[in-house]
Structure 1
Amino acid sequence: MEHRRLGRSGLHVPALSFGAGTFGGSGPLFGAWGDTGVDGARRMVDIALDAGMSMFDTADVYSDGASEEVLGAALKGRRDRALISTKAGLPVGEDANAAGASRHHLTRAVEAALRRLGTDYIDLFQLHAFDARTPVEETLSVLDDLVRAGKIRYTGASNYAGWQLQKSLDAADRLGRPRFAAHQVYYSLVGRDYEWELMPLGVDQGVGAVVWSPLGWGRLTGKIRRGGPVPEGSRLHETARFGPPVEDEALYRIVDVLDEVAAETGRTVPQIALNWLLRRPTVSSVIVGARDEHQLRQNLGALGWELDAAQVARLDRASAKTAPYPYYPYERQEGFARVNPPVVAAA
């Protein structure tokens, strides 16, 4: 397994990480992802660790904490071989303080996550969403305290807008607090908005991307084709409303090229979609989930080979969208691009 630095930090993470959202699944969203119990999770962890996929990602809101509990049980006796990434900040109750990034909530959230995971430290702790109600200085102060106490080792954010991430980084520099090493983001061939602002920010500020939903909420599994219905049993039937919309014709255009490249390489459509992501600037790790061993082994097959430049270019063209203002002049007008070249083009 290839390992990469997490942003500019000293931590090295595997190019592929395991998403434990399928563990203990319940409810309309997480139940559709999967409902792997402890025994099945142990087997998945066995396969992942044997392949060098040593980082496991979860969150307190995944099945109301059941994902963390199952992951902790599956890692029992081999915690030292794993990196645990978890998140907090989204609502976990109706109480006014049961959400956000305040000292009160984050202290309780970390203590609860440690109990569920059966560990005394979290390798990467990320804020699941920006909390506009809490001063960033308060948030950074409690994260610093938790790092100093040895309860978390590295910090990150998830789903931040560019200004929110930069505001946090600037405050960390000003106050001498730990900077976010990671930004957990949605990024895929059917969702390339990350490239417009967050990727250049990551390059400039040394923040590594940890990518979630790299197959576009199941759209890039190879099961959806032009002219055909969404297959019976696809999680899109239950989860599409939770994710960003994708126009049918845009999806079919991308899948057509994925099919062509699959025929040329002998690889599967998901493997090609994942391999494309692994080449992108700032990407430290791509989180892959799996309902069963077959899916996990298929995802691991995205490593150990590379698409050629022509294949990448075809996938880039098929998935390209016009950027919103103020980014589109840099794509379409030579003068703008000359003074500020696109990060992807320069890579």
Structure 2
Amino acid sequence: MKHRYLGNSGLKISEIAYGNWLTHGSQVEADAAKACVRAALDHGISTFDTADVYANTAAESVLGEALVGERRESLEILTKVYWPTGPKGHNDSGLSAKHIRESIDASLVRLRTEYVDLYQAHRFDTETPLEETMQAFADVVRSGKALYIGVSEWTAEQIREGHALAKELGIRLISNQPQYSMIHRVIEGEVVPTCQELGLSQVVWSPIAQGILTGKYQPGQPLPEGSRAAHEEAGQSIAGRVNDDALLTAVQGLRPIAEELDLTMAQLAVAWVLQNDNVSAAIIGASRPEQVEENVAASGVVLEPEVMTRIDDVLGDHVASDPAITAKQAPQERPS
């Protein structure tokens, strides 16, 4: 397993991180979840990403239990705050000082740790002054409950403003966590150049586009039994893509490229995002240990420029690249 620095900090993380969105506490039973975490550790993954909202706090609890007995200093634990949790009361979401303070304390209890390595704003809060949010994050860092702070799915302008305030407060904003894959490249135009300038890097989610880039979804064919798309809750987020036969056909065109490189399509997809030198880690999820084993093999894979060009040619117009998509998909008001 290769490791990369997170932003311009001294913190190194595994270039493949394990995440438990839509799995721990909901789609996958606790024993299977623990087996996946064990597989991640056995294959050199040291970085684990979660969030308080995943399975309404249950995912953090499952991860915390799965990591019991591991040397804390050898792990990097990342979590997030913003979305509604608990009974979803009027202050149970957003990035207010109250919600951040209460959320970090609750996350630490569930994760069974005294601190997290990275505490992330899961979205931008349009209803809380950014100064209040960054001051609250500074308080979290100074209290020793988090070492660094990051954001997720913020626009380039929001990142620039947050970075300036963090610098004034003497804390380190070092990362962004966006969606990024062969078919979703909206960060490349504005977010990545801004982050390169300011010293942030990306910890990207959905590098295999929630399974689309594995090639298991065939055009005109029923959804595979047991797949994420077939899951009543988890499948909602990719319903449009799995019904796009033109996209699924284009994705099948990646298969010969993967086979020539002796890679699975999933490994090719994970390796692709890691070719971007502003990406510190690709977050993988898994419902079975074998999926972890498959994906970690992408660590260290180098794709030559001509391979990258062939991938672009195969996918053609099926790539989302408009920077405005980040803002369009962001909540315009605090969720409840």
Same fold (TM over 0.5): yes
What is the correspondence of 1:249-264 to structure 2 with a 5 Å cutoff?
A: 249-256=246-253, 258-264=254-260
The Cα shift of 1:233 comes to 2.6
Match of 2:282 in 1: 286
- Segments of 5+ residues of structure 1 without an aligned counterpart are 327-347
Pair 1:77-2:69 in alignment? yes
Contact 1:211–1:286 (Cα < 8 Å) also in 2: yes
| Distance change in 2, residues 1:322/1:19 (3 Å) | closer
Q: Distance in 1 between matches of 2:320 and 2:53?
A: 34
Q: Distance in 2 between matches of 1:129 and 1:243?
A: 20
1:91-150 superposed Cα distances (whole Å, 9 cap, x missing partner): 114321111111100000000001111111111110111001111111111111111111
Residue 64 (structure 1) aligned to one of 56, 74, 88: 56
The Cα shift of 1:243 comes to 4.9
| Distance change in 2, residues 1:324/1:3 (3 Å) | closer
| Distance change in 2, residues 1:323/1:56 (3 Å) | closer
Q: Distance in 2 between matches of 1:259 and 1:65?
A: 38
What is the correspondence of 1:207-222 to structure 2 with a 5 Å cutoff?
A: 207-222=200-215
Match of 1:167 in 2: 161
Q: Distance in 2 between matches of 1:324 and 1:16?
A: 26
Match of 1:145 in 2: 139
Match of 2:331 in 1: none
Residue 271 (structure 2) aligned to one of 272, 275, 283: 275
Q: Distance in 1 between matches of 2:3 and 2:247?
A: 33
Give SS of 1:142's match.
Answer: helix
Amino acid at match of 2:35: R
Match of 1:112 in 2: 106
User: What percentage of aligned pairs have identical amino acids?
Assistant: 38
Contact 2:35–2:288 (Cα < 8 Å) also in 1: no
Amino acid at match of 1:80: E
Give the CA RMSD over aligned residues. 2.1
Q: Distance in 2 between matches of 1:234 and 1:46?
A: 22
1:244-303 superposed Cα distances (whole Å, 9 cap, x missing partner): 9544323421331x2111221221110011111110131000000111111111111112
Match of 2:298 in 1: 302
| Distance change in 2, residues 1:274/1:95 (3 Å) | same
Residue 83 (structure 2) aligned to one of 68, 81, 90: 90
The Cα shift of 1:315 comes to 0.8
| Distance change in 2, residues 1:311/1:128 (3 Å) | same
Contact 1:184–1:212 (Cα < 8 Å) also in 2: yes
Contact 2:186–2:323 (Cα < 8 Å) also in 1: no
Q: Distance in 1 between matches of 2:133 and 2:51?
A: 18
Residue 40 (structure 1) aligned to one of 9, 32, 45: 32
Give SS of 2:177's match.
Answer: strand
| Distance change in 2, residues 1:184/1:107 (3 Å) | same
Match of 1:182 in 2: 175
Give SS of 1:21's match.
Answer: coil
| Distance change in 2, residues 1:54/1:310 (3 Å) | same
Q: Distance in 2 between matches of 1:325 and 1:298?
A: 31
Shifted more, 298-307 versus 283-292: the winner is 298-307
Pair 1:241-2:236 in alignment? yes
The Cα shift of 1:227 comes to 4.1
Match of 1:124 in 2: 118
| Distance change in 2, residues 1:319/1:260 (3 Å) | same
Pair 1:205-2:201 in alignment? no
The Cα shift of 1:151 comes to 0.5
Q: Distance in 1 between matches of 2:173 and 2:323?
A: 27
Contact 1:19–1:288 (Cα < 8 Å) also in 2: yes
Contact 1:140–1:177 (Cα < 8 Å) also in 2: no
Tell me the TM-score normalized by structure 1. 0.85
Contact 1:23–1:66 (Cα < 8 Å) also in 2: no
Q: Distance in 1 between matches of 2:5 and 2:145?
A: 21
Match of 2:329 in 1: none
Contact 1:189–1:254 (Cα < 8 Å) also in 2: no
- Segments of 5+ residues of structure 2 without an aligned counterpart are 325-336
1:299-337 superposed Cα distances (whole Å, 9 cap, x missing partner): 1111243222211111123335485499xxxxxxxxxxx
Q: Distance in 1 between matches of 2:191 and 2:206?
A: 17
Q: Distance in 2 between matches of 1:287 and 1:50?
A: 16
